[in-house]
Amino acid sequence: MSKPFYLTTPIYYVNDRPHIGHTYTTVLADVIARFHRMLGEDVRFLTGTDEHGQKVEKAAAARGIAPKALADEVVANYTDLWQRMGMTHDRFIRTTDADHRATVQSWFEKLLATGDIYKATYKGLYSVSDEAYVTETQAKELQAQGLAHQLIELEEETYFFRLSAYQDRLLAFYKEFREQERREWVQPEFRFNEVLRFVEGGLQDLSISRTSITWGIPVPGDTKHVVYVWFDALLNYLTGAETAWPPDLQLVGKDILRFHAVYWPAFLMAMGLELPKTILAHGWWLMGEDKMSKSKGNVVRPDTLLRFGNDALRFFFLRDMQVGHDRGFSFEGFMDRLNADLANGLGNLASRTLSMIQRYRDGRIPALPAHRDGVTRTHEGLGRAAFDQYLENARRNYFNYALGPLWDYLRGLDGYIVEKQPWVLAKDPAKAEELDAVLHLLWQALRMTAVLVAPVMPGMAQELWTQLGMTGLVADQRVDQITWDVSMPERIGPIQPLFQRIDKEKEMSELETSAAAPAEAKPALDVPELRETIDYDTFAKTDLRVGKVLEAERVPKSDKLIKMRVDLGFELRTIVGGIGKAYAPEDLVGRRVVVVANLAPRKLMGIESHGMLLAASDNAGLPYLVAVPEEAHPGFLVK
């Protein structure tokens, strides 16, 4: 038995509900999986969620629940949405699954034994947002992007993967693939160039464990460490492979390509396993010039778009996004595309064709006449060329390039109808054969279109297939074996619109109304009661200053207190804060805080504290430190 075609998406981090970025990746993967099934291949399609790490642990602590409970809550949003959208993955993997834990621990032990993993102390820059140590080059990249505030100095014991030992092997692999395979290992090619330049710049060993958190897979034999981020997350593809290894295609966003095209192949080289055949890195959906981001409030949720139908959303994603490049999103553009290509395009062509067959031939599909004029034969040739071009681009995963020429051809058929004027031919019995040729051509073009677009719009393609009079499932057809000449059913099926035209003005008005509507009433907050009123002069006696945490460590025998060395600009202070249940010491280093600077010193656990940090809290007492902009320097007065 041949190896299945193995396809993966990245696993999505459980810090929020899915947005259209997650949805686009999974739809693209589902389209490719369906396409390969229609090529007659056995397909293994894997997707899932990444559930460990510091962010999940902190978010769960802030809500007073276990990290697994938080993960279960967020994961349900993904599984429910994928089910509603009819995704055809074979497994939804979670990094909390028992078999994944066993995979990670097994390979950790094996690579520890070979020396590819070793324990040492790391001291350097750490990216809070990426949850990863960064090199000097990466730090400069973050600084150039205005993200330097996410970097802190950190020192801790950690296990390293010996990534630097694989730099030459990676470069040799890249070179050999380019010279001998003659195809893209990273799609599109320009993304591969970014990876190549990164590796040529030099690789440093990779930290793959943490002692500062507990939410993760324990390192076997050293349980104060948990396996961290990429060695955990990337190995999900091994856990879910079953008999399908290696992956034929791995879909990732451009922001995580480096991890998949550098760390991942290095891990596999160390394991002695075959590397993925192709990695496809797609771009981002943008709002204006910005990446969609929950913090910016510009995220588009798929439910907002699914009101127009699952097939419509899938078509828009594949039609509008050029793989590898970013694409701006607008609701107007979304509706314009659906009206132009589905309502006025395929939908109108199908309605006209089937209505004419019903009206002029009593629903009976004309056989292919022996004699066709030059115009009809030209459109037959254009159809064959468009269908061949579709297959060629779909095989390369470039569905944007596949759908474009096909819709150009469908638009051309509208012109063909106008030129041939079947309503005039129907009035002349001498033109019966010419009319049969026109109706036959249109019917065949729609039949082949239904097969080609079945991976993209499975529901709409099946409806068109049925209306054309075909039986069975269009998804059971071999997309690479469709021919122009085929035995036809006797009659077409019942006719109904494939897609209703969108009232753009009405829909935009509803969207604007929804955006302007007041938020739903929130339940009463469990917060302390308002204190007694004070006058301004009393408040003005409090001296609030911006400070920067230089050092932080837990106070022995206390799970709540953290001792900090804080720069107030004009002097350094020792401050002890009861924030240890919400913040780890390494999270505080480099952070700007608001300090009550004129508070009388007070001893806590034998340590004299010269100040207090400002933090919000509810009745449970969990602290939320007041955020200070990066531009505010230590010593600035807060008033």
Provide the sign of the torsion angle of the four alpha carbons 129, 131, 136, 141, taken in this order: negative
The rounded distance, in Å, linking the Cα atoms of 410 and 382 is: 10
pLDDT tens per residue across span 24-71: 999 999 999 999 999 999 999 999 999 999 889 999 999 999 999 999
Confidence at residue 483, expressed as pLDDT on a 0 to 100 scale: 82
Average pLDDT, the chain: 90
Looking only at the bridges linking them, the beta strands covering 91-94 and 43-50 are parallel
Mean pLDDT of the 417-425 span: 96
Mean pLDDT of the 452-458 span: 98
pLDDT exceeds 90 at position 470: yes
Confidence at residue 537, expressed as pLDDT on a 0 to 100 scale: 64
Which amino acid makes up residue 116? D
Inter-CA distances, 111 with 95, 116, 133, 159, 268, Å: 20, 5, 21, 11, 11
Confidence at residue 510, expressed as pLDDT on a 0 to 100 scale: 86
The rounded distance, in Å, linking the Cα atoms of 292 and 299 is: 5
- Answer yes or no: are the C-beta atoms of 414 and 340 closer than 8 Å: no
The count of C-alpha atoms lying within 13 angstroms of the C-alpha of 366, restricted to the half-sphere facing its C-beta, is: 23
Looking only at the bridges linking them, the beta strands covering 544-554 and 327-328 are unpaired
| Domains in the chain: ranges and CATH | 5-282 (3.40.50.620), 313-319+328-476 (1.10.730.10), 536-638 (2.40.50.140)
Confidence at residue 189, expressed as pLDDT on a 0 to 100 scale: 86
18: preceding bond cis by omega (within 30 degrees): no
Confidence at residue 523, expressed as pLDDT on a 0 to 100 scale: 38
DSSP assignment string, 468-493: TT--S-GGGS-TTS--SS----SB--
CA 452 to chain centroid: 25
Count other C-beta atoms under 10 Å from residue 601's C-beta: 10
pLDDT over 90, % of the chain = 70
Mean pLDDT of the 489-510 span: 93
pLDDT exceeds 90 at position 349: yes
Confidence at residue 513, expressed as pLDDT on a 0 to 100 scale: 75
Q: Is 626 helix (H, G, I), strand (E, B) or coil?
A: coil
Nearest to 590, CA basis, from 540, 551, 536, 633: 551
- Answer yes or no: are the C-beta atoms of 33 and 45 closer than 8 Å: yes
pLDDT exceeds 50 at position 526: no
Would you place residue 417 in the very low, low, confident or very high pLDDT band (cuts 50, 70, 90)?
A: very high
Structure tokens at 282: 């797609």
Which amino acid makes up residue 541? K
Count other C-beta atoms under 10 Å from residue 570's C-beta: 9
pLDDT over 70, % of the chain = 90
DSSP assignment string, 103-150: HHHHHHHHHHHHTSEEEEEEEEEEETTTTEE--HHHHHHHHHTT-GGG
Would you place residue 522 in the very low, low, confident or very high pLDDT band (cuts 50, 70, 90)?
A: very low
Looking only at the bridges linking them, the beta strands covering 117-127 and 290-291 are unpaired
pLDDT tens per residue across span 573-632: 999 998 887 788 887 888 999 999 998 998 888 899 999 999 887 555 668 888 888 778
pLDDT tens per residue across span 259-309: 999 999 999 999 999 999 999 999 999 887 667 666 566 788 999 999 999
Q: Apex CA 543: angle with CA 538 and CA 546, to 5°?
A: 145
DSSP state of 234: H
Residue with token string 């097994």: 106
CA 265 to chain centroid: 21
Nearest to 324, CA basis, from 255, 254, 257, 393: 254
The rounded distance, in Å, linking the Cα atoms of 58 and 60 is: 5
Per residue, what are the HEC states of 393-438? HHHCCCHHHHHHHHHHHHHHHHHHHHHHCHHHHCCCHHHHHHHHHH
pTM for the full predicted model: 0.78
Decide which of 218 and 537 is more confident: 218
Mean pLDDT of the 528-535 span: 60
pLDDT tens per residue across span 232-272: 999 999 999 999 999 999 999 999 999 999 999 999 999 99
Sheet strands (E) in 174-289: 186-187, 206-207, 209-210, 217-219, 222-227, 249-253, 279-282, 285-287
Q: At what angle do helices 399-420 and 374-395 cross, to 10 degrees?
A: 170
What's the farthest any 2 CA atoms get from each other in the chain? Answer: 108
Q: Apex CA 443: angle with CA 440 and CA 449, to 5°?
A: 140
Provide the sign of the torsion angle of the four alpha carbons 80, 82, 83, 89, taken in this order: negative
Nearest to 28, CA basis, from 198, 252, 193, 247: 252
Confidence at residue 149, expressed as pLDDT on a 0 to 100 scale: 60
